[in-house]
Structure 1
Amino acid sequence: MIVNYTVVIPAAGQGKRMNAGKNKQFIKLEHKPIIIHTLSVFQSDASCSEIVLVANQNELEDLTGLMNEYKIDKVSSIVCGGKERQHSVYEGLKAVKREQIVLIHDGARPFIKHEQIRDVTVKASDTGAAVVAVPIKDTVKKVEDETIVETVERSSLWAVQTPQAFRLPLILKAHKQAEEKRILGTDDASLVEQIGHAVSIVMGDYRNIKLTTPEDLLFAKAIIEERNEGFK
């Protein structure tokens, strides 16, 4: 089954935990900025109809230049982000031109595969809302005042990634209500949960990491090296 989609990619965060002195989206991996690695995945996916990129006001010109340099022509618009990621996503959603399934994907998560994109898109087409996630592997403890108070049963716990996929009217409704009620969710799926709509899970990939800290760049380089070895 093939489901066409639009993807909104928030890339307006400053990434302070990366300690790079600049937006982490511009950090280079294998001579290309992180954001280009991410965009290239969707550019090469035949099911992707449109990309909406959300950026900082002072980086619009630089990003436009990168789109031209790397021939990312599926970007229909680059819009200014808001104070929080949630606000940026909402601005991106309002710029979507096609009323179809819309994906929301972190700009600093460059290792998503077409397989997971297809799975989450098809599931959202069926159920209205779906996210990519992986079962957690570590033991989880609930802590208060630096003391363990509970060991959490992990068999039902999943670590949620992106993309998260929704029918466009549903996610717009969820964001509109969150804005009206001044709700700041932990992710876009949580806003859909707030309006009473169930969110489905599809299996992700542990390599689909978000690059947040300097240590993550070490993992990113290892993933790239592994992929390059696979082509030899």
Structure 2
Amino acid sequence: MEKLGVIIVAAGKGSRMGTAESKQYLQLGHKPILVHTLQLFQNIHEVDEIILVVGGTDVDRCRGYVQDHALSKVTHVLAGGAERQDSVRRGLDSLQRDTTWVLVHDGVRPFVKKEHVFDCLLKAQEQDAAVLAVPVKDTIKIVDTEKRIQSTPDRRSLWAIQTPQAFRFSLLQEAHERALQDDFMGTDDAMLVERIGTTVHVVEGDYYNIKITTPEDLPWAEWILHNVRGEGQL
């Protein structure tokens, strides 16, 4: 049986939220946002192992969450690095060596639909690399440093990338090792895989899979929790 590992990245401070508490620890319903995310993957039977990567000062708190919420698939709670890419690499280094497939997911995306997780994984199993995404709704403008519009790309070719992102474990390891050797910093894991010549395929998700980042996201998240993706509805 091929093993599936999940890396949950939650080491950011989330300055855009404007709160003293990091966004992943804010309450959503009666639990921290991060706990909702962890429980989602805990409840996916096919997941063998979860690696949680958090800020260095939050490791003990998160180990408490693992114990209090019976998150038995979380095998490691690690301190993250300076950048998200560093945190993912630490997660990769801690996965069991016989892992075949890995999902990388944002700790502040608690509403991804399980069906879409499987769709993304299946596409990766066919093609080695896949990401969830949704078509961009708005017209996008390319703007220079003086805020002058330079061009308008065709909206039909634009997708907003989400997580999870799914990869063959050995491929993502190689991509991270190459990036480290080249001192290259990407914006997501897919970018690292793209730069070593592997095509990454897009799998359509939905617009409820929000990344809770700003204060405006919180009431929307509460609405999703109570009306669309609450306990047992994911």
TM-score, length basis structure 2: 0.94
Q: Which residue of 2 aligns with 1:207?
A: 208
1:44 aligns with 2:43: yes
Q: Which residue of 2 aligns with 1:104?
A: 104
Q: Could you list the runs of 4 or more consecutive aligned residues of structure 1 that deviate by over 3 angstroms after TM superposition?
A: none
Cα distance, 1:3 vs. partner? 7.0
Q: Is the 8 A contact 1:5 1:121 kept in 2?
A: no
**Cα distance in structure 2, aligned partners of 1:15 and 1:6:** 25
Q: Mapping of 1:3-22 within 5 angstroms?
A: 5-22=4-21
Cα distance, 1:217 vs. partner? 0.7
Q: Is the 8 A contact 1:3 1:122 kept in 2?
A: no
Q: Is the 8 A contact 1:6 1:48 kept in 2?
A: yes
Cα distance, 1:147 vs. partner? 1.7
Q: Which residue of 2 aligns with 1:156?
A: 157
Identical-pair percentage: 46
Q: Structure 1: which 5+ runs fail to align?
A: none
**Cα distance in structure 2, aligned partners of 1:123 and 1:103:** 12
Q: Which residue of 2 aligns with 1:118?
A: 118
Paired letter, 1:224: L
Q: Which residue of 2 aligns with 1:69?
A: 68
Cα distance, 1:36 vs. partner? 0.4
Paired letter, 2:10: A
**Cα distance in structure 2, aligned partners of 1:61 and 1:149:** 48
**Cα distance in structure 2, aligned partners of 1:53 and 1:151:** 39
Tell me whether 181-190 or 92-101 shows the greater mean CA deviation.
Answer: 92-101
Cα distance, 1:14 vs. partner? 0.8
Q: Which residue of 1 aligns with 2:217?
A: 216
Paired letter, 1:64: R
Cα distance, 1:4 vs. partner? 5.1
Q: Structure 2: which 5+ runs fail to align?
A: none
Tell me whether 96-105 or 141-150 shows the greater mean CA deviation.
Answer: 141-150
Cα distance, 1:225 vs. partner? 2.3
Q: 1:3 to 1:156 in 2, by over 3 A?
A: farther
**Cα distance in structure 1, aligned partners of 2:65 and 2:205:** 29
**Cα distance in structure 1, aligned partners of 2:166 and 2:152:** 32
Cα distance, 1:169 vs. partner? 0.6
Q: Which residue of 2 aligns with 1:33?
A: 32
**Cα distance in structure 1, aligned partners of 2:224 and 2:56:** 32
Tell me whether 138-147 or 181-190 shows the greater mean CA deviation.
Answer: 138-147
Q: 1:4 to 1:202 in 2, by over 3 A?
A: farther
Q: Is the 8 A contact 2:3 2:99 kept in 1?
A: no
**Cα distance in structure 2, aligned partners of 1:72 and 1:53:** 11
Size of the aligned set, in residue pairs, is 229
Q: Which residue of 2 aligns with 1:85?
A: 84
